[in-house]
Each structure stands twice: as C-alpha cells, then as structure tokens.
C-alpha cells in the first residue's frame, strides 16, 4: 500500500472519498457530482450519520468514476476515534467496489483534530485494514485498494502532513510486522526464530540486537526464566535490543520487557484444548516491543531504550518444572511454583531484574499477554495497567490517547499482596485474586525503586474475529502505544 500527501491531483485516481457531517449538505460545482449527492440525500436517505456509507459508480471510463460518501456524524461529536473508524470503513468499502487508487482529504480538522493527527490516522488505518495473513494459503485474500493520496490544500500544512504521513504509515507497517509475528505458528516461530526476526528488524531500522543462548542465560543466573524454558527441546533465547538516541541524558535509560512465550501449553498444569488453541500468541508483548523499537529507531527519537525478551516455550516433558517446586530467580528471591501455567511472570521478573542490574535501566515498562483475568476485567476494549509512579503512568495514558489503544489503570492495593506470599518461599506465582493485580504486583516485587508501568495485553493483542481495522488474529497492540510513550517521555 502506497500512501502519500499531494498538493494537486491529476486524473489517474479512480476513487474520490467525501466525508459528510450529519445534515451538512455537500455542494459542488461539478454537475454530475451534485446530481449524485441530491440522489443520495433524496432516494437513499443519506444524511451523514456516523458510519453511514454510500458509494456511487458512474458508468464511464473517465476518472474518477467511483465516489464514496462517508457519514461522519455530528460535527461537535467528531474525534480521533471516529476518524479511525470512518477511514477503516472507507477502505473496506473501497475493496468492496474494487477501488485501486483513492483520494482523501483530512477530515475533522475544523472540528478539533489537528492536521497532523488527522494525516497520521489516515496514513495508518488503511495499512491495518488491508493486512491479511495468507502466506500459508494458496488462494490469496485479495484487497484492491493499493494507493492512497491525501490532499494538502494549504501550503502551510505541507511539512506537517508529510511527516505525519511518514509516521503513520511506518507505525502501521510495524504494527503489521507485530501482527505477523503473533500469527506465525509456534512450529515456525520458535524462540530462535523470534530472535532472528528481532535481529532482522534491528538491521533494517538500525538498532542493536544481541542474542544470548542457554549457557549465557544460566551464567546470568536467570533461574526463574530457565525453569520455564527447560521442558522444551527448543532452546530459549534472551533477546536484548538497544537504542541510544539521547546522548545528553546517558544515564536515563528506559528498560522495556516484552513477554515472549512462543508457546504456552500451561506445562504440567496443562491448559484445555481450547485454552491452548491460540497460545502461539503468547509473545504479543515481544512483538509489540520489536515493532516499537523499530519505530523509535526509524524516527531517531531522543531517548535511550533497552528492550529485553526472555523468549522460550512452556511445554511438558520429564525435564520440566513441577507444581510445588521451589525455584530461584536472578534477583535471589525464591518462588513457590503454585502453577506451571503462571509462567509469564517468572520469565518477566528475570527480564526486569536483568534490565535494572545489567543494563542500568532507570525506568521500567513491561508488556505481556499475562492473564486471562485481563479480559474478564475490561474485555478486549482496553488493556489493564498497573504502575507505582503517577508521572510515568500519565505519560502512558497520554500515549494511549494519541495511539487510540485504550488502557485503564488498576489499583495496587496492599490487600492483594497477601495473595502472592508463600509459607515456604519468598513469593508464590500461583496468582490468586484478582488475577490482573496479583500478576502485576508479582512483577512489582522486582522493580526495586524504579518507576514502573505494567501493561497486560492478554485480551487486546488477539482478536477473536474481524474488527474495524483488522482480521481475526494478532492485533499488533502496543507498537504505537510504546512508540508514543517513548516519544513523549521527556516532555
Ligand atoms: N498466557 C496466559 C494468559 C492468557 C490467557 C493470554 C488467555 C491470552 C489469553 C498465562 O500464561 C496464563 O496461563 N495465565 C494464567 C495464570 C493463572 C495460572 C494464575 C491465567 O490467566 O489463567
Ligand atoms: Mn500460562
Ligand atoms: Zn502465558
């Protein structure tokens, strides 16, 4: 998909998109277009209600011969989210009427959306809408829309629009990259392959990637991580990604840990057949992190970021850890294994400790498909977040407002801490209630005094069915969120 900003148009495009606010009649000097609008309003009751869409195809070879009218709803209720949905609807309609080359004007810029935000959104959504996962199928799922031009009417907006277009389309491509990683089956995306893909991204976007094998992981003392990994014949890989873009504040280092379970069977606490069905997606945090590192590096954001993925599989074998075991961790704390299926937090605590001790992280974020309880709490509408620092949390909230990936802060009440205490070890991983908080607060035990934000994407990183800007499968959630978080961190 090609998306660009243009100052003027020639007649090579086939489809013109027109946004219409509710009860705001469009008028144009072009007779055929005005006739079409009158027809739509009178015969089809097109009133510009939000999400209303009508297309007209003219029986002529002259271009453009396709017109898509998208209802934007009431002017004073228009916002970023409605723009995202409208653009998605237009692209889906374009595919339906076999549009190839479409022209759009930024919508809603007189209704409080900045020209930059509007352009970024229009450059982002079409790429997300047209993503398909059909590499393993002979019959490809066709999408026709392949070129979009965004019209710049005001010379003074040009620079802003061009850079917003580059930002939006790059973020979308990196979100699609994350989706692809999530969708890859676990027999293809082994921990070693996830490491290869991170390396590839690093080479393409210019960040440093180091990959450590079992021997090095053991040498580092990452005991909790190794306990999860050891049942599998496929070796774990510790993936360390580094981007240093702020030389003036060398000591200020953000560490991000992404959960990278390339498969989660539950271990001896084996999951049900259905519970396991999509567990190749248990590396959604890792995928988000790789996509975000790529974007941060591409736009040379002024920040220092180290990303860590403790990649492994949670399988079953005679070599595996058991329920009831007492295991160690890199930080030295002992853990009673209440469930071999609460494996994510075991890999994350070693990743977080590594970030603080070996990479000198001064702030910590972790992003993980951690608990089924995340979906019970907020559904797939938002990711629950925990934090020990209002300022860092507020920056995440702002990033979420920009990216449109909703988050919701949950409390770290001390009452919940009782649930992760053990009679025989320093902590237990068995969870308890409420699941989102006990899992997050387990990780909090390892962040020392560092400002920390924890994002549970268990319910948001996978779509059970087609949704407005994507197909069933990985959503790539977190790529845009983490990027905007890092971009705005110093402000
Ligand atoms: N990877 C799962 C969480 C998950 C569940 C992600 C559903 C996506 C969809 C995690 O490792 C897990 O198994 N969590 C358990 C924790 C429990 C054993 C304390 C859960 O949520 O049931
Ligand atoms: Mn699990
Ligand atoms: Zn898991």
Query: Does residue 158 lie in a domain region?
Result: no
* Residues 219, 306 share a domain: yes
Q: Supply the pLDDT for residue 295.
A: 98
Using CA positions, which residue lies closest to atom 16 of ligand 1? Answer: 342
Ligand 2 centre from 377 Cα, in Å?
Answer: 18
Q: Supply the pLDDT for residue 27.
A: 73
* Residues 339, 299 share a domain: yes
Ligand 3 centre from 262 Cα, in Å?
Answer: 9
Query: Does residue 162 lie in a domain region?
Result: no
Query: Does residue 397 lie in a domain region?
Result: yes
Residue 280 Cα distances to 73, 132, 464, angstroms: 40, 18, 14
Q: Supply the pLDDT for residue 32.
A: 77
Record the tokens describing residue 313, joined without a space: 């599989």
Give me the helices (H) in 9-134, please: 31-43, 80-96, 115-129
Record the tokens describing residue 137, joined without a space: 């199928």
Q: Supply the pLDDT for residue 166.
A: 98
* Residues 231, 135 share a domain: no
Ligand 1 atom index nearest CA of 259: 1
Using CA positions, which residue lies closest to atom 5 of ligand 1? Answer: 372
How many helices and strands, by DSSP H and E, does the chain display?
Answer: 15, 20
Catalytic positions: 271, 345
* Residues 199, 319 share a domain: yes
Shortest-distance ligand to the CA of residue 461: 1
> In whole angstroms, how large is the CA radius of gyration of the chain?
24
Percentage above 70 pLDDT, the chain: 100
Q: Ligand 3 is a single-atom ion; what residues have CB below 5 A from it?
A: 261, 264, 282, 344
* Residues 45, 103 share a domain: yes
Using CA positions, which residue lies closest to atom 19 of ligand 1? Answer: 431
Q: Please answer whether residues 285 and 260 qualify as being in contact, where contact means their C-beta atoms are separated by less than 8 angstroms.
A: yes
Query: Does residue 157 lie in a domain region?
Result: no
Ligand 1 atom index nearest CA of 344: 11
Residue identified by tokens 């774990």 is 236
Shortest-distance ligand to the CA of residue 266: 2
Mutate to test the pocket of ligand 1, among 323, 342, 367 (most ligand atoms within 8 A of CB): 342
Record the tokens describing residue 454, joined without a space: 């924890």
* Residues 220, 99 share a domain: no
Give the total number of structural domains in the chain: 2
Q: How far apart are CA 175 and CA 166, in angstroms?
A: 14
CB neighbour class for 273 (10 Å; exposed up to 12, middle 13-18, buried from 19): exposed
Q: Please answer whether residues 102 and 13 qualify as being in contact, where contact means their C-beta atoms are separated by less than 8 angstroms.
A: yes
User: What CATH number should be reported for the domain holding residue 192?
Assistant: 3.40.630.10
Ligand 1 pocket, Cβ-based, cut-off 6 angstroms: 264, 282, 339, 341-344, 369-373, 431, 435, 458
> Which of these three, 98, 117, 151, is where a domain ends?
151
Record the tokens describing residue 245, joined without a space: 């873009």
Query: Does residue 168 lie in a domain region?
Result: no
Condensed to tens digits (0 to 9), the pLDDT of residues 221-279 reads 999 999 999 999 999 999 999 999 999 999 999 999 999 999 999 999 999 999 999 99
* Residues 352, 476 share a domain: yes
Q: How far apart are CA 17 and CA 105, in angstroms?
A: 8
Ligand 3 centre from 235 Cα, in Å?
Answer: 17
Domain of 389, in residue numbers: 175-489
* Residues 203, 112 share a domain: no
Condensed to tens digits (0 to 9), the pLDDT of residues 311-362 reads 999 999 999 999 999 999 999 999 999 999 999 999 999 999 999 999 999 9
Name the pTM for this structure: 0.98
Condensed to tens digits (0 to 9), the pLDDT of residues 183-198 reads 999 999 999 999 999 9
Ligand 1 atom index nearest CA of 261: 1
CA angle (331 as vertex; 325, 332 as ends), nearest 5: 55
Query: Does residue 87 lie in a domain region?
Result: yes
Q: Supply the pLDDT for residue 112.
A: 87
3-state secondary structure of 198: helix
Closest CA to 311 of 254, 219, 206, 241: 241
> Which of these three, 151, 185, 210, is where a domain ends?
151
* Residues 97, 135 share a domain: yes
Query: Does residue 272 lie in a domain region?
Result: yes
Residue 197: strand pairing partners: none
Record the tokens describing residue 242, joined without a space: 């580094």
Record the tokens describing residue 93, joined without a space: 């309609």
Residue 433 Cα distances to 14, 66, 168, 302, 416, angstroms: 56, 55, 39, 40, 7
> Which of these three, 114, 135, 151, is where a domain ends?
151
By DSSP bridging, strand 427-428 and strand 473-474 are unpaired
Query: Does residue 159 lie in a domain region?
Result: no
Condensed to tens digits (0 to 9), the pLDDT of residues 292-325 reads 999 999 999 999 999 999 999 999 999 999 999 9
* Residues 189, 138 share a domain: no
Mutate to test the pocket of ligand 1, among 347, 458, 474 (most ligand atoms within 8 A of CB): 458
Closest CA to 212 of 229, 236, 188: 236
Average pLDDT, stretch 411-420? 97
Mutate to test the pocket of ligand 1, among 264, 278, 371 (most ligand atoms within 8 A of CB): 371
User: What CATH number should be reported for the domain holding residue 86?
Assistant: 3.40.220.10
* Residues 218, 112 share a domain: no
CA angle (463 as vertex; 95, 405 as ends), nearest 5: 90
Average pLDDT, stretch 399-425? 98
Condensed to tens digits (0 to 9), the pLDDT of residues 57-82 reads 999 989 999 999 999 999 999 999 99
Q: Please answer whether residues 368 and 375 qualify as being in contact, where contact means their C-beta atoms are separated by less than 8 angstroms.
A: no
Ligand 2 centre from 135 Cα, in Å?
Answer: 28
Q: Supply the pLDDT for residue 228.
A: 99
* Residues 408, 263 share a domain: yes
């Amino acid at each position: 998909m090609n998306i660009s900003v243009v100052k003027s148009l020639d007649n090579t495009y086939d489809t013109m998109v027109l946004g219409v606010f509710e009860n705001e009649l469009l008028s144009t000097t072009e007779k055929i277009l005005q006739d079409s609008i009158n027809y739509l309003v009178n015969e089809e009751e097109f009133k510009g209600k939000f999400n209303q869409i009508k297309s007209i195809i003219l029986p002529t070879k002259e271009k453009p011969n396709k017109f898509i009218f998208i209802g934007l709803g009431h002017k004073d209720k228009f916002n970023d989210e409605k723009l995202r949905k409208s653009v998605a609807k237009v692209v889906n309609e374009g595919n339906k009427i076999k549009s190839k080359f479409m022209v759009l004007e930024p919508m809603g810029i007189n209704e409080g959306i900045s020209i930059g935000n509007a352009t970024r959104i229009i450059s982002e959504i079409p790429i997300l809408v047209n993503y398909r996962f059909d590499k393993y199928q002979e019959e490809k799922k066709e999408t026709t829309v392949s070129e979009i031009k965004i019209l710049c009417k005001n010379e003074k907006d040009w620079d802003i629009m061009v850079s917003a277009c580059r930002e939006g389309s790059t973020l979308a491509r990196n979100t699609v990259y994350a989706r692809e990683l999530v969708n890859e089956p676990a027999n293809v995306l082994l921990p070693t392959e996830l490491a290869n893909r991170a390396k590839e991204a690093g080479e393409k976007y210019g960040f440093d990637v180091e990959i450590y094998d079992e021997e090095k992981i053991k040498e580092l003392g990452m005991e909790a991580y190794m306990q999860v990994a050891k049942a599998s014949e496929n070796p774990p890989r510790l993936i360390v990604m580094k981007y240093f873009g702020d030389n003036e504040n060398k000591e200020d280092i953000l560490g991000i840990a992404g959960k990278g379970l390339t498969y989660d069977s539950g271990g001896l606490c084996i999951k049900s057949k259905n519970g396991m069905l999509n567990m190749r997606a248990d590396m959604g945090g890792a995928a988000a992190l790789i996509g975000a590192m790529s974007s941060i590096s591409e736009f040379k954001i002024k920040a220092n970021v180290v990303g860590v993925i403790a990649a492994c599989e949670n399988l079953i074998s005679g070599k595996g850890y058991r329920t009831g075991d007492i295991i160690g961790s890199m930080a030295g704390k002992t853990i009673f294994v209440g469930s071999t299926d609460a494996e994510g937090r075991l890999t994350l605590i070693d990743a977080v400790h590594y970030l603080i001790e070996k990479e000198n992280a001064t702030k910590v974020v972790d992003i993980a498909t951690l608990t089924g309880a995340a979906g019970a709490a907020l559904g797939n509408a938002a990711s629950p977040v925990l934090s020990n620092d209002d300022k860092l949390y507020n920056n995440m909230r702002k990033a979420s407002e920009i990216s449109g990936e909703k988050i919701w802060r949950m409390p770290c009440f001390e009452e919940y801490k009782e649930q992760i205490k053990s009679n025989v070890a320093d902590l237990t991983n068995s969870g308890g209630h409420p699941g989102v908080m006990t899992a997050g607060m387990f990780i909090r035990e390892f962040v020392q005094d560092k400002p920390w934000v924890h994002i549970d994407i268990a319910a948001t990183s996978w779509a059970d069915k087609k949704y407005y800007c994507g197909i069933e499968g990985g959503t790539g959630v977190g790529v845009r969120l983490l990027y905007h978080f890092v971009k705005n961190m110093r402000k």
